[in-house]
Amino acid sequence: MEIFDKPLTEIANAVRQKEIKSVDLVRGFLDRIEKVNGQLNAVVLSNAEHAIKLAEKADTDLDQGNLHGPLHGIPMTIKDSLDTGEMITTWGTMGRKDYRPGPDATCVARLRGAGGIILGKTNTPEFTLWFQTDNLVYGQTKNPFDLTRTPGGSSGGAAAIIAAGASIFDIGTDTGGSIRLPSHFSGIVGIKPTTGRVPCTGNALPSSGLIAPLTQPGPMARYVSDLSYLLKIISGPDQIDPYAVDAQLHDPDDVDVSKLRIGYHTDNGIKTPTQDIIDTIENAISLLRDSGQTITDTRPAGLEMTNFIAGRVFAADGGEMVEGLLQDCHTTEASPRIKANLAAPGLPLDQREFAQVISLWDNYRSSMLGYFEDYDILICPVNAKTALPLGEEEDNMAYTYTIAYNLTGWPGVVIRGGSDQNGMPIGIQILAKPFREDHCLAVASWLEAKLGEFPKPAIYAG
């Protein structure tokens, strides 16, 4: 296997051991981006010239015994909803098409502080508020498995360029499934950490307000071990995001998967998935059963309320958050999706109704937590469908498989589990109790090893 296709841990070790120079690694991935990006429109802003200079300095510093950190000289891409100091960060909105934010987003600063080098920014819908990746600034991103289909959203640019073998990793953000859905649609791995695990400071959506607890930044990559490696770097409070907490980060290498109590379902009772998706989940469950695991077909109590509660939580502010973002960004021409959201009939709530929404949400979280009295892991689909044709209208019910766990705040990992009859990737979602990312990462790693490799996309840089 070529070094460019190996896990992050092996690439980082190769740089530290001087088996490959950072500048050769950076140039190699820039060449890969050049090879595929014209068809994908995934990387929308290049940092090539500066990245090469940083790589040259990383090599010189390493020769002098100065190790920058666990990502010394490692190239990466970053979703354009996350601020990157000296680089233009648009959040997918026209008012910021030439905007340089100054400070990095907290997770970006931590990656750079660990030695990471940004190759470019990846595409996102305006303010991250769509499950497809398209905006008026940069246009539409396409899926490397099928250029007529979406890679998902809102971290679709990240998913597409990783799947195409032209980026080692990226950082996505997930408010309703925006890490997990593109991972499923594009055949990569991704983790939405527990609410509060990683600060949201510097992301397009604010880290304050009613829906702030829904959002988490998290790594997207090619191997489960990459997710664990990166989560250690970006976790922990920054004394800015009021929801970020100082919680122990457990090591998945310490988890005995055979001792975990596992539940699963192939249908959440809201939207039945395609048969290919059901078969993929059943196959993963069979692998676990064959190893001696006791597995139970079960759903958390309250799951059926997901769409009802999510609809009210997202609509409770009457569009105030989006209108504020447009105003703050000086955007006068919003994308069609944002216009449609603002034009949709709202839910005018008085004080009593608003209080009821908050109580209903808290009761839902409490009811769902009861699942962990009997189980440690929940395995289920990521979505009711595989990657949609570009521009096809979504069925919101299909997305309840992800939004349910933004409402609860649980951590969730997605890995590829199979393919549909058209060769499109199918993901498996692995969830655990709050702050036990180690449990879902350990199960994901176990399944990754059992499932083996899958076919590469039609558009692949390697």
Residues labelled as active-site residues: 79, 154, 178
Q: Is 355 exposed, middle or buried (0-12, 13-18, 19+ CB in 10 A)?
A: exposed
Q: Record the tokens describing residue 71, joined without a space.
A: 């990502």
Partners of residue 297 on adjacent β-strands = 264
195 in helix, strand or coil?
A: coil
Contact 107, 65 (CB under 8 A): no
Distance of alpha carbon 17 from alpha carbon 9, whole angstroms: 12
Distance of alpha carbon 330 from alpha carbon 137, whole angstroms: 14
Residues contacting residue 285 through CB under 8 Å, at least 6 positions apart: 264, 295, 379
Which amino acid is located at 443 in the chain? V
Nearest to 220 by CA among 164, 157, 186, 171: 171
Nearest to 203 by CA among 112, 117, 322, 101: 101
Contact 343, 315 (CB under 8 A): no
Q: Record the tokens describing residue 439, joined without a space.
A: 């449990």
The DSSP letter of residue 19 is: S
Q: Record the tokens describing residue 14, joined without a space.
A: 């190769």
Contact 148, 390 (CB under 8 A): yes
Q: Record the tokens describing residue 201, joined without a space.
A: 């400071």
- How does DSSP assign 207-265, residue by residue? SSSTTGGG-EEEEEESSHHHHHHHHHHH-S--SSSTT--------GGG--GGGS-EEE-
149 in helix, strand or coil?
A: strand
Strands 295-297 and 262-264: parallel
